[in-house]
Structure 1
């Protein structure tokens, strides 16, 4: 995979986006090493950001070990086990290539993710 420009998104042979400075996940078919945000639905049918973390290990039968990060420090706080069927719900889980992409998504979108009321134009 070659990166011709430090400002453009390149596509690798498998069609996945590759970002400047990003070390590709050596196991493209694996979720291990990927970062995530989880969301809950509010009473106004909006999605509020709930947790952030990283998938750290794959277990049998579609289960994964996930590590949750503190919002203030970014340090790991606790771990849990989640089934792939829960992570497949894109209303509740956003999965990123790595922590850098998760942080970028948060910086760009967090204002919309954390609103309970519709944004007025």
Structure 2
């Protein structure tokens, strides 16, 4: 993720600050009994965090730019992406390219949420 931020000209000081927040983050829980032992979070990203949303949008933009050669083959809004193609085989190529690009950054497409619409009059 850090190299992607640098590709988007995010200042190095900010990239370093983000790295500190997300590389091996540790936590404590405070209760009436005191502090727990330190533990490390091993997966995920902070939720409901403005920075997390910003990072996700940059990541999706990066994935789309890496996987799709033509700017006019997709519409995207946050984590929803619509791919458009004239032929079913072209749509499959776009989807495969997108799937490969997401895998390279550690993400995956949710097959259960993936749908396609076919225009029988055009195809």
| TM-score, normalised by the number of residues in structure 2 | 0.28
Greater strand proportion: 1
Between 1 and 2, higher relative CO (CA 8 Å, sep ≥ 6) is seen in 1
Greater helix proportion: 2
| TM-score, normalised by the number of residues in structure 1 | 0.28
